[in-house]
Chain A
Amino acid sequence: MSARFDKLGSPRFDKLGVVIAAIDAYAAFAAPFATFRANRIVPGQARSILEALPLTLGSLLLAILIAGGVVALLRTPLILRLAASVIALFALALLIGIAGSFLTPDGNTFARVAPASGFWLLVFAFTLLLADVLTRLNLTPAARVGVLAVAALAVGALLFSGSWDSLSILKEYASRADGFWSEGLKHVTLALGSLAAAVVVGVPLGVLCHRVERLRDGVLNVLNIIQTIPSIALFGLLIAPLGWIATHVPGAAAIGIRGIGTAPAFVALFLYSLLPVVANTVVGLAGVPRAANDAARGMGMTDRQRLLDVEFPLAFPVILTGIRIVLVQNIGLATIAALIGGGGFGVFVFQGIGQTAMDLVLLGAVPTVALAFAAAIILDAIIEMTSTRRRTDSE
């Protein structure tokens, strides 16, 4: 719709484009592009685009940024805006790596070069432009996952080719490469495992709450109250009962139940996950049209058949929405598990806070955000696909 309006007043300014161009101009000319530090903890010195890059590349980047700003500012066709944002983002991603090796003196392993505020603002501005284009294009769910895959491949290729190796965050990675992947695996296992457990327990509990009205308010109240307990406290509180189980129940310690570590984190995430799963199952089942249930009963379906063949398929998109909430929330909360020795990317975040080494914080925070973001896009796409298929089926 908005795409059609764009063509009407061609010489006029694009409202969002004004914001993007303003950020672009400020970040390109007034803010530092990269920070240089003599070692990983001392305060850094700011470097502008022309200082951080060889003259030709620096001028090329400025030209791309100016052109991108103009394309954003004016009412231009969507395809041009798409090209401008992708080219600008790609140039930024490639050149920050070159700035890293350009600024680091030869053979110096202590010096750290990190992207500075100007770089992040530029990435933000052109991501905003890209997000606007993608929103206006009204992509199908499959296409959105495709865009995500292309972006992931591009980032993966840049990482693999080693063009970012001179940046501080990857230097932190290089000294912890093994730990990074094992903590990452723990993080994903915690988030997905507790989600799976919550689905296995929560969906039947939701069905029960739907069928037995007296149970519903009680269960939902208890789950609501669990949500209000701060995560760090819940993690801590579970240490005692699990420690007790580990020492008193034979075999418990053997399967990995321990007072500190992964077990209390897993149980805490599981408890937090229950509310969205149970509540959405109840809401989804309550939203099944009465006519569908009547028809199923009229056909002589048993309660079990009705549940599996009629109610579940109809309630499925709503239950999936609950699962999406849980997954994104769990990926974020799993960072806190590090406080009680549960591992995960939070290990780097809290180590980094402790050492005031922000690159280490980023090493933990960036993959967490990326995981949560990817999970949200993929599950949103699945939800949309299941609910639109249902709609076309019924027509």
Chain B
Amino acid sequence: MKARLPALARLALLVLLVVFIASPGWFEPLLKPLTENGAPAIYNQGSLLTLTLLHLRTVLIATLAATIVAVALAILVTRPAGAEFLPLSRSLVNIGQTFPPVAVLALAVPAVGFGEKPTLIALFLYGLLPIFENALTALTTLPANVMEAARGAGMTGWQRLVKVELPLSAPVILGGIRLSVVISLATATIGSTVAAKTLGEVIIAGLISNNLAFVLQGGLIVAALAVLTYDGLSAIERYAARRMGREAE
């Protein structure tokens, strides 16, 4: 998908986002028309900066864990010893994708209680799938001649994995991580229904008090974060692909 922003628009969005999060007060006149009965236009039950950082931290932790587990799993089922798990892991991943995030979130609450933990679990499980799928695709579609050459050069299985397979797969795996991060950024907001500290708090506060300005600022910050992350990771992916001599998809 070619969803690239022009460099200038990207920079402007980034500056706007940082300024908004750092001093939202400046934007009050813009948001004021959306409120009724003199309700506050800027979220006042906590700092937007703290919530944004907590939001990003939650997504980061979940994605890191998901990446480690998904890539390890993909490596395992593409080795001869784990090959018999391959078809099963494929169908499990397919089944996993049908679980709605709200359901995962709600079902995790009795096991781990309210707060950040159920959100982390839901994001982790939901983030696994795109990364695993991409890692699997990458590792099973490596060019046969390269693998032959690596074997011919006398590399051990471990050397082949670390020096040939993983670097060659990196761009595609990164693509999976990018998808996973963008989904997680939006899904993390639902975590606030079980009391996780994320930007969802702003949106939910707006829904409860019928304050459209809150809903808008919460939603737009998350959307801007997602667009910028998507863009940034796409750039890294293209860089990795160029280094590996593969065209980015």
Residues of A within 8 A of B (CB): 2, 5, 15-16, 128, 131-132, 134-136, 217, 220-221, 224-225, 227-237, 239-240, 279, 328, 331-333, 335-336, 339-340, 346, 349-350, 352-353, 356, 358, 361-362, 364-365, 368-369, 372-373, 375-376, 380
Contacts and interface: CB of A to CB of B under 8 A. Distances in A.
Contact of A233 (B103, B194, B219): B219
Nearest to B5: A221
Given A236-B212, A361-B106, A15 B194 contact: no
B91 A340 contact: no
Interface in B133-190: 182, 185-187, 189-190
29 contacts: A2-B87, A135-B87, A135-B88, A224-B230, A225-B227, A227-B186, A228-B182, A229-B186, A229-B223, A230-B186, A230-B199, A230-B203, A230-B218, A232-B190, A232-B203, A232-B207, A236-B206, A236-B207, A240-B34, A339-B193, A346-B102, A362-B107, A364-B103, A365-B100, A368-B102, A369-B98, A369-B100, A372-B98, A376-B95
Contact of A279 (B1, B98, B185, B190): B1
Contact of B1 (A224, A229, A372, A376): A224
B240 interface: no
B49 to A, nearest CB: 18
**Which 4 pairs, one residue from A and one from B, show the smallest C-beta to C-beta distance?**
A233-B219, A332-B100, A228-B226, A236-B215
Given A237-B215, A239-B212, A232 B204 contact: yes
Contacts of A362: 107
B130 interface: no
Contacts of A376: 94-95, 97-98
Of B1, B190, B218, B219, chain A has the most CB atoms within 10 Å of the CB of: B219
Which secondary structure dominates chain A's binding surface?
A: helix
Which secondary structure dominates chain B's binding surface?
A: helix
Nearest to A275: B1
A358 B113 CA distance: 11
B99 interface: yes
Nearest to A238: B215
B244 to A, nearest CB: 24
Contacts of A239: 212, 215
Interface string B188-219: 01100110000110011011000010011011
B28 interface: no
Interface string B77-93: 00000101101101110
Given A2-B84, A225-B223, A333-B100, A361 B203 contact: no
B110 interface: yes
Contacts of A365: 100, 102-103, 106-107
B200 A230 contact: yes
A232 B203 CA distance: 7
B103 A353 contact: no
Given A15-B82, A231-B189, A233-B189, 18 more contacts: A15-B84, A225-B223, A228-B227, A230-B203, A230-B219, A233-B218, A234-B219, A236-B215, A237-B219, A240-B212, A332-B100, A332-B101, A349-B106, A353-B193, A361-B106, A368-B103, A369-B98, A376-B95
A358 B187 CA distance: 21
B6 to A, nearest CB: 11
B103 A15 contact: no
Interface residues of B, number: 50
Contacts of A135: 87-88, 90-91
Contacts, number: 156
B66 interface: no
B3 interface: yes
Contacts of B219: 229-230, 233-234, 236-237
Interface of B: 1-3, 34, 82, 84-85, 87-88, 90-92, 94-95, 97-103, 106-107, 109-110, 182, 185-187, 189-190, 193-194, 199-200, 203-204, 206-207, 212, 215-216, 218-220, 222-223, 226-227, 230
A19 to B, nearest CB: 9
A345 to B, nearest CB: 9
Nearest to B208: A339
Nearest to B106: A361
Contacts of B186: 227-231
Given A339-B207, A349-B103, A224 B3 contact: yes
Nearest to B95: A373
Nearest to B81: A15
A328 B91 CA distance: 15
Contacts of A333: 100
Of A228, A332, A352, chain B has the most CB atoms within 10 Å of the CB of: A228
B193 A16 contact: no
Given A230-B200, A234-B219, A236-B206, A16 B1 contact: no
Contacts of B92: 128, 131
B107 A361 contact: yes
Contacts of B207: 232, 235-236, 339-340
